[in-house]
């Protein structure tokens, strides 16, 4: 739906079945949330110490970015054209 702006494409299971059942998709889908959980556990343990309390926010941010990058990267596996074409231009072209 994000690429074609048609609601029917969001639930077209026949089209998504082949890419969603690949090992690459499953790995990214499982490792992404795993990075979030592990980063949260380490950050929580570090925040109990004085120096760790200063480092924990940065570790949490890095783990969150990495986790969502992995999880969000599954869109490119389902619809490779979404990554190849880039974003649609917004507004008027420069004069």
- Region of poorest pLDDT, from 1-5, 8-12, 24-28: 1-5
Q: Compute the mean pLDDT over every residue in the chain, rounded to the nearest whole number.
A: 77
pLDDT tens-place string over residues 54-93: 899 999 999 999 988 887 777 666 665 544 555 555 566 6
Number of H helices, E strands in the chain: 6, 0
Helix/strand/coil for 1: coil
State the pLDDT at residue 87. Answer: 56
State the pLDDT at residue 83. Answer: 47
Q: Are 29 and 77 in contact (CB under 8 A)?
A: no
| Residue-range domain boundaries for the chain | 19-84
CA-CA distance, 44 to 38, in Å (whole number)? 10
Supply the pTM of this predicted model. 0.59
């Amino acid at each position: 739906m994000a690429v074609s702006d048609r609601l029917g494409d969001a639930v077209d299971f026949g089209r998504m079945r082949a890419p969603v059942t690949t090992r690459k998709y499953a790995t990214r889908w499982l490792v992404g949330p795993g990075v979030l959980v592990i980063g949260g556990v380490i950050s929580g343990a570090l925040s109990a110490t004085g120096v760790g309390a200063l480092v924990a926010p940065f570790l949490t941010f890095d783990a969150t970015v990495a986790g969502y990058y992995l999880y969000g990267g599954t869109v490119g596996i389902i619809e490779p054209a979404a990554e190849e074409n880039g974003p649609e231009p917004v507004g008027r072209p420069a004069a």
